[in-house]
Amino acid sequence: MQEVWMDRDVLSTPGHLISLAARSFARLSEMRLKPLGFGIGYLPALMALRDGRATSQRDLARIVRIEQPSMAQMMVRMERDGLIRRDPDPADGRSSRIALTQTAIARLPEACDALFQGNSEALQGFSDDEAEHFIAMLNRVIANLDGLGAGAAGVREPR
């Protein structure tokens, strides 16, 4: 596979094209979500809370795949924006349980609809099979990158 990329333009590589697509999706999503009081970064965390997959900052950071300090900052913004509340954890007085507010619960369906519409528009002209195949390929790329990242985390730089 190495030889395939040697004679190609850097701007045509999968990494660059995925990055461009991600930034375009983020801009579109932010534009559509801002009037609803959401940031694009909020949605994975809010959905995890809604679906019961997370109740703590640690759970959210793991699911959303960001570091704890970044999640703490995001939670401050979501709480400020009236989307989450923190309640004392009855099992551990030092930590909090995170829950959606009624405002978040009421706005999430419209936010999800806006994101799904943007995805549909981005995949305009794709057949259902092509869209499913594209998503499967992106998931494979992500899994490959995760594997590389996990491998690199265990490798020490020479001194």
Banded model confidence at residue 24, pLDDT cuts 50, 70, 90: very high
**Contact, 109 vs 98, CB < 8 A?**
no
> Which pLDDT value is given to residue 22?
95
Whole-number mean pLDDT of the chain?
90
The C-alpha atoms of residue 83 and residue 93 are separated, in whole angstroms, by: 23
β-strand partners of 85? 99
Banded model confidence at residue 12, pLDDT cuts 50, 70, 90: confident
> Which pLDDT value is given to residue 149?
77
Q: Name the token pair of 81.
A: 């924006």
3-state SS, one letter per residue, for 77-137: HHHHCCCEEEEEECCEEEEEEEEECHHHHHHHHHHHHHHHHHHHHHCCCCCHHHHHHHHHH
In this structure, CATH architecture of domain 27-124: Orthogonal Bundle (1.10)
For 25-78, how does the pLDDT look when each residue is reduced to its tens digit (9 = 90+)?
999 999 999 999 999 899 999 999 999 999 999 999 999 999 999 999 999 999
The arithmetic mean of pLDDT across residues 4-14, rounded, is 76
Higher pLDDT, 3 or 15: 15
Q: Name the token pair of 70.
A: 């970044």
